[in-house]
Chains A and B, each alone.
Chain A
C-alpha cells in the first residue's frame, strides 16, 4: 500500500495538464492495474466482477479496457468499501437530485487527503496558488463536523486551501430555506474590493439566492479581481430557461468583473478530487491523476473526436472505495484528444447533459420519457 501511495503522490505532484496523452495513459494504466489488484484483495464481490470482465485487466494495454463500474452501483447501502469501519474518516453523499437514493462513498484518511490535494492541484492551474478571501454563497451548515458530508459541503471544503478567510453570505431558516444576508455580502465587497477574491456556490444557489434577488436593483459589487467557481449542474437552471452565457453575464454584472472570471466545474462526489473546470476555450480537461473516456453507448468503445457518448471518469486517488473507473450517467462530446488552444494537454470535452432517464417497459412506450427530444 505504501508503494501505491507513493505512486499516487507522484502523479499528484506533477503539473496536472502537462503530460502528453501517451505519457498520461501509460502512467495511469500501470497505477490503475495496481489499484485494481489491491481492491480485489479487499472486496470479494468486486473481485468477482473484475474476474468476469471480458478483458483480463493485468494484460490490458489501454485504460479503456479496464473494468469500469457504473456510478449507480455506488448507491449501495451499506456503501461499497475497501477499508474497515474504524478506518473510515468520512462518508460523502451525492446530492441525489435526479434519483431517490444518493451515492455514498467512504473516505479513509489517505483518500481524503488525496482528494484535497487533487482539487488543489486542479484549481491552482486555473486560478493560481494564492490564498484569498473566500466568499461562499451558501450557509456554514454544510461544513458542520459530522461523519457525513454532502456534495455541496465537499465542494465548499475542497476550495478551503485557497481561502485566507471564509465568509458565508446565506442564512438558512428552520425549514432549510435559504435567504441572502445582504449586509454580509455588502460588507465583504466593501472590505475586499481591491483584493483577489474567490467565490464559490452551487450553480442553482448562485442564481436563485444571489443573482435573482439582486437583479431588480441592478447592484454592482465592484470586485473586478475575482474568480467565481460554481458546480452542481444546469438542470434546475434549464428548467428556468437560463442559458450559461446569460448566467455568466449576470454574475459578472453583479460582481463587476468579466464573464471570463466565471468558471463552471463538473465534479461528482463519486470521483473525489478530480474536478473538471471549464478552460477559457469552454472545454474541460482531465488531470494527470485522472482522465476521461467518452464511450459510444452502442459499443462502449471510446468515441472519435467530435462525437458524443457516455462519460467515464478515471481517477487514481481513491483506495477506500471502488471509484477509480466510473461510468457516469452524463453525456459529453469529445472536442479533441490533444491540442486545446488553452495549452492544457490531453482530452478536451464538453458536457452534453444527463443520460435520459428510462424505465423498463414490456411492449412499452419508451418515448414517454423522451418527449423533449421528440
Chain B
C-alpha cells in the first residue's frame, strides 16, 4: 500500500470537508485571475523541458506527455477548438457575433488507475480552458504524479497554474469523498472502465455541471497486403506495431488488441510473423515489464491455452513468461481482448470484412496501407462503424483531439456569444 505523504498540491484526504474547503479556495483564486491559453502554454513548455530529465525516461507515456505540453502541439488544438483569437483570450468573430471561451470553474478529474500519466493529461485539458482542477489520484499513481507535479512547481515559480490545482488521494471505495468532489465541481472529466464510469457519472454533480466521459474501448490494427509484403517496409511496420502494443502495457483504449492482416496471394505470412516476433522480442528487451498483477498473468496464460486448444490450426508465439504473446489465426471476428501485450493476428481476405463487424466499441484503427484508395474506403467504413480515430500504425496513442470523437478542451469551457448591441 502506498503511503501518501502530503505535498503542496497532493494530499491524502479523509473527510468531505477537506475537499469542499479545497474547492472553496480554488474558486476564490480563479475568480480574480483570468489566465489565457497562451500563458498556460508558456508554463507547459517550461514544464515539458523539466520533464526531459533522463531519470523520467522510464515513466510510461512520458514521451507523449512531453510532446503534448509543447506549444507546437497545443496552439493548433486551441485555435481549432476555441477559435483563432482564443490563444490570448480574445473574442473570435463568427459572422455578426463574437465568441470567447470562458472557464466552467472547477473541473473534477477521475482518471483511470492504470494509465500513469492520465491524471496529468486530464488536468491539462481543464487548465488550458482557464479552469481550476480538482483531481482524484488513484492510489497506485500517487508517487509518480507527485514527481511530475514537482516539475510543474519548478516551471511555475509564480504559481499561476499550481494555485489552481488540488489533487486528492483517497480510497476508491470512499463514496463520501467522491460525492464531495462531485458537489464541488462545475465540470468533470471521467476516464475508466464501465463500472468506474457508471459509478462516477451517478455522483451528485450540480445540475449545470458538464461531464466528459471517456469509457472503456479497444483498438485495432490492420495492414493491407501491399504494406506487409513490401520487403523494405515489413520490419518497420512490425516495429511500429510492437511500439503501439508496448505503450501502457496495452491497457489503454488506444492500444491495439488485434491485428488484421490482409491475405496476399502468393505470399506466406510466416516471414512477416517471424519479423513481428523479433520486433516484440526487441521491444521487450528495451522495455521489460517491471511488475504485473497476478490476475493479468493468469489471463495471459488462459488466453494462450484457449487459443491453441480450441483450434488445432491456430498458432502462437510466446516466451515462458507473460512478457508478450502473439496469437495467430484467421477470421474477421474480433476476439476477446486480453491485454498484457497479447496481440491476436488474424488473416483476412478483405480488411473491409473485419471493419464491417465493428460495433462501436473500437476507438482507434491503426493502419498500414499501401493502397491509398482502399484506405479511404476503409476509413469511411470505420467511421460509420463507430471508430473515432484512424491513424498510422505507430501513432495509435498520440494524444491529439478529437479523442473518443470529442474535443478535449472545449467541453470544459463555456463559449460565450456576444452580438454587439450597436450592430
Q: Residues on A close to B: CB < 8 A?
A: 44-49, 52, 54-55, 65, 68-70, 72-73, 76, 80, 297-301, 309-310, 327, 329, 331, 355-368, 370-371, 373-374
Contact = CB atoms under 8 A, between A and B. Distances in A.
A362 B295 contact: no
Interface residues of B, number: 63
A65 to B, nearest CB: 7
A70 B320 contact: no
Contact of B315 (A52, A331, A366, A373): A52
B171 A371 contact: yes
Interface stretch (B46-54, B107-115, B231-239, B369-377): B107-115
A73 B1 contact: no
Interface string B241-269: 00000000001111100000000000000
Contacts of B308: 45, 48-49, 52
B297 interface: yes
B289 interface: yes
A367 B296 contact: no
B311 A300 contact: no
B196 interface: yes
B31 interface: no
B292 A367 contact: no
Contacts of A368: 113, 172, 192-193, 195-196
B60 to A, nearest CB: 13
A325 B217 CA distance: 35
Contacts of B217: 362-363
A365 B292 contact: no
Interface in B288-310: 289, 291-299, 301-302, 304-306, 308-310
A337 to B, nearest CB: 20
B295 A363 contact: no
Contacts of A45: 308-312
A123 to B, nearest CB: 30
A52 B140 CA distance: 36
Query: Which one of B1, B292, B312 has the greatest number of beta carbons of chain A within 10 Å?
Result: B312
B27 interface: no
Contacts of A46: 309
Nearest to B113: A367
Contacts of A364: 112-114, 192-194, 196, 216, 251
Contacts of B138: 365, 367
A46 B180 CA distance: 54
A49 B309 CA distance: 6
A232 B303 CA distance: 27
Contacts of B310: 45
Question: What are the nearest 3 A-B pairs in CB distance?
Answer: A364-B193, A361-B193, A362-B253
Contacts of B305: 49, 69-70, 73
Contact of B216 (A47, A70, A361, A374): A361
B337 interface: yes
Interface string B141-173: 000000000000000000000000000000111
Nearest to A327: B301
B294 A331 contact: yes
A96 to B, nearest CB: 16
Interface string B315-355: 11111111000000000000011110000000000000000
Given A45-B312, A52-B316, A73-B306, A367 B172 contact: yes
A80 B311 CA distance: 13
Interface in B269-298: 289, 291-298
B102 interface: no
A348 to B, nearest CB: 21
Nearest to B328: A52
15 contacts: A45-B311, A52-B316, A68-B301, A300-B301, A329-B298, A357-B295, A358-B293, A362-B252, A362-B255, A363-B115, A363-B191, A364-B194, A366-B113, A366-B114, A371-B173
Contacts of A48: 308-309, 311-312, 314
Contacts of B292: 297-298
